[in-house]
Structure 1
């Protein structure tokens, strides 16, 4: 029977996705959990696995299409449906040689061939992902594709990702072209099961009864993948990604066993790292105690509550017509820039911004950087900069002022019992904000190494969904460009963001026992933008001064 593939809901605040690439084309066979396409959202790029096994018969969203969540993006004809429809579609045509020819033309309209056709939907990649952009289809209509084989690539404003096909078979149709922005849940392709063209002709024994062959063909596969079939996407309030379910199926992990694996992802989800660590550990559930509480605060609804970002009132075509004949160039925003624009407008319309600026003496920090630069590089393999000093000091200050480490949901204050510091990274694709998780449990070395790793991944667009969400506070360093002051916009649903300006040598009056003296000090300005709904001036100023205190009195033993 034909199955609709929907654009999945990847997150609470995600409403659409852009189809980057179809890895399968109409007529291709695809297996469940095999990469079907790639999508891009405002949070992450991801490979989308097929939810069914069968044949992709139709793709309803082209690459680069922007598709709303839950929209049909593809149709897949699965094996069971094909078997059921076969008697009415071709009751008299039993010769094996005549079966392979009709599928490409007949599959979209009928399930009369073995394997059937299944729809591939834009998958749900995360709690806040609603759309993705199709970058490239690795398969074209008519190509064969195996389950879990890369089908397409997708892009979001955060990362790029390869999407495996959820089925084995023939890609019959691609419904979203490269460059299309597609909503989660939309059908983006259709895959015809591999048995459709090859089943009757490749199996001489069952030739006298080709109609019954499709029904029996999938049976061995179902028996082999019974554990994977038994693992739902959600169980006991817990979400399992297609990749995790695919690994569990291959390793013979039951849903009961999977439920016992501690997860370190968002809301306690089991990540790829978690399940591989479980397997490497002899299938003994050993998990860090710290990550579990990371998921306890109900912070996910906050972005959804603050979602009313204004949409463009006119199309790109209308704008181009408006400026026709004028000496201007109309450049449509790409998906990343559009999402950044929407997020910034939404933040300003949601939070009443208040700003506090503090002068900070970085002389102590810069002397420690100079003193330990060579030894740190030799020991850790990375350059020591002032950034980990700032992140470490911010983390300590957030412990002292937990109300800054909170969010607002309606008339409720959501105080986080964990500290995740987002760090703004400028890339050629736009501004990305990877998240340092549980910084209050990290030492200086851990913060430095993790911050470096996330910055590299951000610039290479290799961040995972878990690495760009659930921040509780954000730091942005515009001083790297030489600016001496700035007023950053709050990264929702945070209630504050710290901006760090350039550090310059300045003459400063110092009070000493011998009296006032003028000295050359390394001075920089830090700006705290905070949400006045929750943070009053006193709280904001005290928090900012606490960060200043930790930086100006940074203890060498913390390194």
Structure 2
């Protein structure tokens, strides 16, 4: 049965197309879904695949012909047998033979590496780091690439053992959910991969040595000719097309990069005298990460949309330091974690939030939302920037559980393992600039929350106690709050409550 090989439907704005490359010739045996011919439009290259197993009959339109949508360009004889090869066929390169007989290609199944499904509020993501390169063997569940969103870093792991054959999206590329970013050959070994790598340059050298390279489409030839690029120079152009084919876009990108380099060289020559005068003063320009851009946007939004005010107080840390000194060893033996300051501050803040509900609330349009739960965001400094994971239901946690929760969030933040769920929500934020030596600051509210507590460096200072001067370990506390919802009386009362609970920790135990 003869099956027509037709030009596929063209995009609405495209009138016609060009036969770019026939991958088979008359008499070749083909398999179902095997790519037969590439059809080039102004913007994309379309592949026409075999509808069934069979033999290529007559090819009606050759490479370079202009064709229309649904036009018949060849015939496929379904279920036929390949004719005996002529002397001319025998002289064809081994590549054609490999294409006509897929079994001889000895390749495993190709697996697409895709961007995972992104959270509902995230439109796109950025390729952060590739941990493997083309040709490297990978194991099932091995991390291939880190993909950065506005809040978290997602890991994409290998679905199976094999070899990474191709990276479609390099580091820094913006990608969407479910987008194919690489290809993995299932079950392949590094030996077959290296063999393929050795064959590729040889084929490329053969085709590159001919000025009339048959793999070049008419539009590519025109682009090379118009820009005065020789066949030898064309070898240096990076190829993004399938099977290493040179595309028109590749030539345009190469020309732009070449012009930019020449422009930079010209500017550098013009500024030689100035550079000598400046000596070795240099600068480096790098793009912002997605997280840094998000932080900048949110902090600016917070400053511009809230009536932010900061109130200060100081707390004597000696009582808590005495408790830590007395029970640290016992506490660590029982719970497997050290007793820190953050658990005391979290407990004190949670109790203060119960007494001042407006500090635990948020503004939604013209409404005030009061929360009857106590989820506290912990500001964590990571190599990528400041993040605020959430410790949930702090009113139900013991000091040990709080310490363990904070440590787990800090480790995940450092390693970029925080999930969207762990970053979402939170009614109040605690930030500790004291670990970096900050003596006092005015923290910015973490929207949509209405307040944030800033901890600072513990410093010995002379204080008047019962008419006498004593040297005590003191810490400044800063509460930034949204004056649209929280009045001065409530903000000061909240901060005084935190101070009193910390200076007399037994109040936390006795609920006083």
Could you tell me the TM-score, scaled by structure 1's length? 0.52
The yes-or-no answer on 1:162 pairing with 2:149 is no
Match of 1:176 in 2: 169
Q: Distance in 2 between matches of 1:396 and 1:557?
A: 8
Match of 1:503 in 2: 458
- Superposition RMSD in Å: 4.4
1:131–1:192: structure 2 CA closer, same or farther, 3 Å change rule? Answer: closer
Measured against aligned partners, the alpha-carbon deviations of 1:94-116 in whole angstroms (never above 9, x if no partner) come to: 67999973799xxxxxxxxx999
Q: Distance in 1 between matches of 2:488 and 2:128?
A: 45
Match of 2:400 in 1: 445
Measured against aligned partners, the alpha-carbon deviations of 1:279-324 in whole angstroms (never above 9, x if no partner) come to: xxxxxxxxxxxxxxxxxxxxxxxxxxxxxxxxxxxxxx9xx99998
Match of 2:291 in 1: 336
Kept in 2, the 8 Å contact 1:134–1:176? The answer is no
Question: How far has the Cα of 1:417 moved from its partner?
Answer: 2.9
| Counterpart secondary structure, 1:499 | strand
Query: In the alignment, which of 167, 180, 185 is matched to residue 177 of structure 2?
Result: 185
Q: Distance in 2 between matches of 1:348 and 1:181?
A: 31
Kept in 2, the 8 Å contact 1:82–1:117? The answer is no
Question: How far has the Cα of 1:408 moved from its partner?
Answer: 2.1
Q: Distance in 1 between matches of 2:388 and 2:410?
A: 9
Kept in 2, the 8 Å contact 1:422–1:435? The answer is yes
Question: How far has the Cα of 1:485 moved from its partner?
Answer: 0.6
Question: How far has the Cα of 1:524 moved from its partner?
Answer: 1.1
| Counterpart secondary structure, 1:177 | coil
1:187–1:347: structure 2 CA closer, same or farther, 3 Å change rule? Answer: same
Question: How far has the Cα of 1:128 moved from its partner?
Answer: 5.2
Question: How far has the Cα of 1:347 moved from its partner?
Answer: 2.1
Measured against aligned partners, the alpha-carbon deviations of 1:358-409 in whole angstroms (never above 9, x if no partner) come to: 1212221111111111111222222222121111111121122222122222
Q: Distance in 1 between matches of 2:79 and 2:186?
A: 20
Match of 1:392 in 2: 347
Question: How far has the Cα of 1:522 moved from its partner?
Answer: 2.2
Query: In the alignment, which of 480, 488, 493 is matched to residue 537 of structure 1?
Result: 488
The yes-or-no answer on 1:383 pairing with 2:338 is yes
Query: In the alignment, which of 377, 383, 389 is matched to residue 434 of structure 1?
Result: 389
Match of 2:145 in 1: 152
Match of 1:546 in 2: 497
Kept in 1, the 8 Å contact 2:348–2:508? The answer is no
| Counterpart secondary structure, 1:462 | coil
Q: Distance in 1 between matches of 2:454 and 2:381?
A: 14
The yes-or-no answer on 1:455 pairing with 2:404 is no
1:492–1:381: structure 2 CA closer, same or farther, 3 Å change rule? Answer: same
1:444–1:86: structure 2 CA closer, same or farther, 3 Å change rule? Answer: farther
Q: Distance in 2 between matches of 1:103 and 1:137?
A: 34
Q: Distance in 1 between matches of 2:101 and 2:179?
A: 20
1:14-33 residue pairs with structure 2 within 5 A?
A: none
The yes-or-no answer on 1:360 pairing with 2:336 is no
Measured against aligned partners, the alpha-carbon deviations of 1:312-356 in whole angstroms (never above 9, x if no partner) come to: xxxxx9xx9999867441322333333322332222222221111
Question: How far has the Cα of 1:413 moved from its partner?
Answer: 2.0
1:337–1:98: structure 2 CA closer, same or farther, 3 Å change rule? Answer: same
Q: Distance in 1 between matches of 2:100 and 2:146?
A: 30
Range with greater deviation from structure 2 (123-132 or 90-99): 90-99
Q: Which runs of 5+ in 1 are unaligned?
A: 1-53, 56-74, 105-113, 196-316
Kept in 2, the 8 Å contact 1:488–1:529? The answer is yes
1:103–1:485: structure 2 CA closer, same or farther, 3 Å change rule? Answer: farther
The yes-or-no answer on 1:525 pairing with 2:479 is no
Kept in 2, the 8 Å contact 1:508–1:519? The answer is yes
The yes-or-no answer on 1:133 pairing with 2:136 is no
Range with greater deviation from structure 2 (545-554 or 156-165): 156-165
Kept in 2, the 8 Å contact 1:139–1:152? The answer is no
Kept in 2, the 8 Å contact 1:133–1:335? The answer is no
| Counterpart secondary structure, 2:358 | coil
Match of 2:190 in 1: none
Kept in 1, the 8 Å contact 2:501–2:507? The answer is no
Kept in 1, the 8 Å contact 2:125–2:147? The answer is no
| Counterpart secondary structure, 1:344 | helix
| Counterpart secondary structure, 1:354 | strand
Alignment length (residue pairs):
346
1:374–1:95: structure 2 CA closer, same or farther, 3 Å change rule? Answer: farther
Kept in 2, the 8 Å contact 1:126–1:465? The answer is no
1:194–1:357: structure 2 CA closer, same or farther, 3 Å change rule? Answer: same
Query: In the alignment, which of 114, 118, 137 is matched to residue 124 of structure 1?
Result: 118
The yes-or-no answer on 1:486 pairing with 2:441 is yes
**Larger RCO: 1 or 2 (CA < 8 Å, sep 6+):** 1
Q: Distance in 1 between matches of 2:505 and 2:75?
A: 78
1:90-489 residue pairs with structure 2 within 5 A?
A: 92=78, 101=99, 120-121=114-115, 123-125=117-119, 127=121, 130-136=124-130, 138=132, 140=134, 150-156=143-149, 159-164=152-157, 174-178=167-171, 180-185=172-177, 187-189=179-181, 327-332=281-286, 333-489=288-444
